[in-house]
Each structure stands twice: as C-alpha cells, then as structure tokens.
Amino acid sequence: MTIDQQLIEELSLSLEEYRLIVERLGREPNEVELGMFGALWSEHCGYKNSKPLLRMLPNSGPRILTRMGGENAGAVDIGDGICVVMKIESHNHPSAIEPYEGAATGVGGIVRDIFAMGARPIATLDSLRFGPLSEPRNRYLFSGVVGGIGGYGNCLGIPTVAGEVSFADPYSANPLVNAMCVGLARIDHLVSARAATPGNIVLLVGADTGRDGIGGANVLASRVFDEGSAELRPTVQVGNPFMEKLLMEACLELAEKHPDWIDGIQDLGAAGLTSATVESAGRAGNGIEIDVALVPRRERGMVPYEIMLSESQERMLVFPKKEHEADVRALLERWELKVDVIGHVTAGGNVRVLDGTRLAAELPVRMLVEPPEYRRRGVKPAYLDGLQSYDIASLPDLGRDAAGRALLRLLATPELADKRWVWRQYDHQVLTNTVVGPGNDAAVLRVKGTRKGIALTTDGNAIYCYLDPHAGGAIAVAEAARNVVCAGARSIAVTDCLNFGNPEKLDVYYQMEETIRGMAEACGRLATPVVSGNVSLYNETNGEAVLPTPVIGMLGLLENVEKRCAMGFQGDGDTVFLLGATLEAAAKTLSGSEYLREMHGLTVGRPEIDLDLEVRVQQVCLEAIQRGFLRSAHDCSQGGLAVALAECCIAGGRGIDAAGVEPAGRLDAALFGEAQSRIVVSCAAEAAGEVESLARGANVPVTRLGRVGGERLALGGLLDVSVEELAAAYHEGLPRALAGA
C-alpha cells in the first residue's frame, strides 16, 4: 500500500524518517507497521532528541543494580538484601486535555513500572506546574489534577508522601504533571522486563483493550498543542484503580513467592502492546509473535492498528516459564484477573503481528528500538543576555518599615504558601511507613524489618533554568540533595523528569543541553547517579514553550531512622545558625527570586551555585545530625532567609529572637535573596560550640542568628512579626487564591 504524507505527519514522523524506514526495511511499511514505528520512534519512547544528551548523566555506582533505561525503573541497593526501586514520569499533555484522568492514569502508569519489577510500591510523589490561579481555567486544571492524583493513589492504598507545586504564566496552556513512585524489594526477588526464553508463551493480563489512549505516545507526547487540541480528548486514557490493585497484588505474589515461575513482567504503558512486546523482546535479544485476534476487547470492530497502539490502562504482559504456565495462570485467575495467551517468544529477532491467519505486521525488533538520534547545535536564546545583565542594584532597596509586610505578602503567594490544601486530599499515612510526611523538606519512611529509613523529595526551580540553564540544572540537583540531608539522610540516587519545549528549536535545545550538563556536574559532585527517568518534550502551545523544567526525584538513606531531623524549631533556648553564605548578600542573590517576581514583577538576573561549598555545607549538616548536635534543619531556598525562618517558626510553633543580627548591604537581598548552599539549623545551647567548630573545620561559613523562643520572628530590627500572623498568611494563601480572592 502507499502511505500518504498526512498519515506520516499524524504519527509525528518526519518525511526523512519515513524514507529511512523504507531504506532500512527495503520496502514500504504497511499501516500497522508504520504505526508501530511512529510510536517507538516518538520522543516519548525513543528519546531520539534527548538520548545523546542523557549520556552525560552519571548512571553507575556501587549501589546501582540496574542500567539506566534497561528496565522499567531503577533499583538502588540500600543494604540488608533490600533495594529501592524508583522512577518518575510525566503525563503533561493528557492532563492538559483531561486533568482528572490524565493525572490519575499518570499515577497508575508509574506505579505499574515499580511493581512490574517485583517491588512493592510504598510511596508516590508528584511535581506539578500550572499557570497563575487568577485565571479560572488554571484553577480548573489544578483542582482536576490534584483530584486525579488523590483519587487513584488513595484507591490503590499507596501514600502520597511529598511533592511540589509551582505557578508561572508559561504553564497556563500546558501544565506539567510529573508522578514518581518508590517501591521496596528483596534484591534476589527483582523481576526483569525481558522476554528471555524462545518458545515460552506470552500472557496478557488485566483489563480489556479499548480505543482509549490510541496514539498517546506520538500524538500527545510528541507534538505541540494549539487551539484544536481539545479534539484529542479521546486519546486520553481512562483508569480503573481497583483493577490495578488486583494486578499489583498478583504480580507481587509472583515475584515474592514464586520468582522461579516467570522470566519477566512488562507493563503496558505508552504505545501499549507495541512497546511492551517489542521492548521486552529487545532486552533479551529475542523476537516475539502475537495474534491480536486473541486480545480481549471491550469495543467492537477494532482493527490491528488500534489494538497494537491502544494505551488502555491496567494491563500487563507476563512471561511464564514453560513448566509453570498452569501455575502462573491459576495464580493470576485467583486474583480475579482475565488472563489470555496472545503469543509466544521467538528466537528470530523479529516481531510478528498476526490477525488470525493474516499477517498484519512483521518487523525487526532491533530496527524498532533504534530510532535515529539527533545531536543539534543549540543556540543561546536571544533574551538571555538582557535578563542576565539586568542591573538589580538599580532597583530601590526595601525600606526597614516594609520588611514585615513584604514577608507576609510573600508567604501568602501560591508559590510559597502552605500546600496542605493539596496534600490533605492524599492519604499519606496508609501502609504505616510514613515517619515524616508532606509539608517538610523531604518525606521520611521507615524500612520495616530494619533500622533504616529513606528520605524522598521532588525538586526543580524552572525560573533558575530559564535565566541560566546550566546553573539551574545544577541547583535542581543540589537543592533536592539538600532537602534529604536536612531530614538526616545521605543522598544516594536520582530519578529525573525533564520537561522542555520543542527540541527542534535551537534555543530550546540549548536550554535542554545546558540544563542536563549542569545536572550532570552536580550529580557527579554529590555522588548521586541517575538511575531512571523520563523526558517530556514538545511542551508548547501556539508556539510558546513552558519554562525549562527539570524535576529531580532524590533518594536519601538513613542508616537509623530514629536519627531523622525535624524542619521546625524544637525547643525554647535552642541556638539558631545559618550554615553557608553569610548575610552580607550582594544584589545578585536576588536573581530569579520570588521577591523580584512578586514585588517588582521581574524575572531577571543570573543564578549561581558553588558546588564545592554545596558539598561542604551538606556534609557538615549531615554529620551534625548524625552526631546528635542538631534539633532542626531547614533548606534556605525560595523566598530566602526570611521565608526559611518563618517556615521554621510556623512548623515548630515557636518564634526566634535574632534582634542582634544586623546585615550589611541591601536589606532586600539579605532577607529575600536566594543565595544557594544555605541551611538554617538549630541546636541545644550546650551544642552550639560543637556546631561552630564542625562548620569552621570544614571551611563552611557559619552565622549565629539568635535563640528560639517567644511568639515572634524578630530579626535585626528589620522584622518583628508574630508567628500567628506568619501562620495565617502561610496557611490561607492557597485557599484564597483558589477561591479567586
């Protein structure tokens, strides 16, 4: 048959890519084959624009058990024969079209990646970006996404323990919805996603196949949006968390009790049967043959093209060993799951798709999983020079009498305000592992049966990446690591979700390349290899891209979960220190700050980070916690020192007397500048000398701020605000914005 150019474009393939397919095949593909190429050569599945850049990221280490991209998720050894399995992925475009189902199925998909490896999911996290809540549609998207995350995760019985929410104009038409899942497994029970043994059958388990989600990988995830994008609503998947719960328990029973019965498990996510069959065969160097006539359907008249590309949810492929076929089927059916034999593994290296007796497609697996790669030469965006060279010192400084009002105003902005409106809709205590929950620098979960704990966070400041992609990428990693260190954990591994616009535009490619370069540098210095992740490109609407948004999911390890550290001030009379950059802040520390955005309507400057100092600050903080010196630790980031102190006061229900502190230089920079590598810590008065000695011995600046106590935040004659006022602004800010106030 002759393929017309319209179909090629609908599959998000270029004409050059189509010609390459014909050249490699030695013939024209049929419609089913072209659909399979379109899915697996999409950016979402094939990473053709990003893979060359991702190779910059460090991805190995003594704790790392998997090869990045080699399995459904990354596995990290935490000792005692136990590993953490983790991954983060995006569901941006589906959520922009149908926020509830888009977010819900994003959670469902990332959870399947974890239990497909034989790991029990113990936590989910999220990272969300929306346009300003002053616009009704953004409030609709925000509420729908939060509802979808909670609705699906709560039904599964998996706690949502941490996350972040940010707001900026470029996300108005294209919100970002990144979901992370973390699981635990015994290392000797890990399951691969490999179709390892020719001759063994292929089982399709779970929900029937429908037309929902067709083209999700290439239509939704590999194209930009415009006014007609609402017509794509049928391509958004619809989830059933109760079916997923059955799938999860059945797969975990196989992995935990009968790992010798199976060769592998693979979930059906993006590109459905196409990616699940081809990728699982490709990992083992094998082929696979399936008959779509054997695939149970919930809609009549579905053709092979639709069956192969459907992204209907709650489906898994299971590859049982020949001698245990009956055992595996019986176990799955006992969980009231539909189980169908749809094919078998072959040794030929080809994927063959039959429709009864008719051959619908036959392609080399290797060709499908090796799309072309594009290494471009990025061009620095024209706007950057002007923004980076903006003379922030020319702005009027903050008056002493206005500092308190400025702090209350910042605390009430949706960007900085308390996000409890979000996380109160999530069950964060189910499974009883959660020791420190949402609203802190990082969540902490106990690892049952051991003394260990793990700390988890998601982080990434897109404004910094917009102003300086290299520095912004490094800061994203550093801040995520800083967050888990503040909880008392050593950062050990990263999963990332990289959200950018159209990579074919050279200024966007520059943002992506420099951001990844900065991330790679920070991951190397902080010894946090990247074990898994996702790239979401083409986040554009009508030619306008989202901010460059790398999201870092950071894993930290506590050898003793009882040695965790709190965020809020703990006791009256405790001494408060600032580790890291001193109060004599230059105007440039206001670069990319919330203060400039809120008070001056400016996004300007050039963020900076000294990774040598960052490493030393984190090491000092962690050692001080482990030696029992610190009673609290809190990352100083968005909003600067004043906001960090306010959050410590609010979390602890105590004030601070720092009246003796008198910063030099600009007051706005001292209070609200966002200099990196800073942590606010407190300790019992008798441990103050130990903390100072530890910091100075590591060449870390340390500033004694004052003492915990009273009911006010008093700082250097600049701030004198009651904790009650601070808490009211902080807690009421987001609900007021959602009410349109």
**What does the DSSP assignment read for 334-356?**
HTT--EEEEEEEESSSEEEEEET
Q: What secondary structure letter does DSSP report for 451?
A: S
Q: How far is CA 351 from the centre of its chain?
A: 32
CA distances in angstroms from 168 to 52, 89, 228, 385, 476, listed in the order given: 30, 21, 23, 21, 17
Q: Give CA–CA dist 418/691, Å, rounded.
A: 30
> Other CB atoms closer than 10 Å to residue 685's CB: what's the count?
12
Whose structure tokens read 């990263």? 494
Question: Which residues does the annotation mark as catalytic?
Answer: 44, 91
Q: Which letter does DSSP use for residue 49 in this model?
A: T
Which of 503, 527, 526, 531 has its CA nearest to residue 515? 503
CA distances from 200 to 293, 449, 623 (A): 19, 37, 52
Q: Token pair of 685, please? A: 């008065």
- Provide the angle, in degrees to the nearest 10, between the axes of the packed helices 640-652 and 403-411: 70
Residues 6+ apart with CB under 8 A from 361: 30, 32, 33, 36, 304, 308, 351, 352, 353
Structure tokens that stand for 128 in this block: 């969300």
Question: Residues 6 or more apart from 11 whose CB is under 8 A from it?
Answer: 34, 35, 37, 38, 39, 215, 218, 219
Q: How far is CA 355 from CA 32, 296, 304, 308, 344, in A?
A: 11, 13, 7, 11, 14
Give the residue from 393, 352, 311 showing the smallest Cα distance to 93: 311
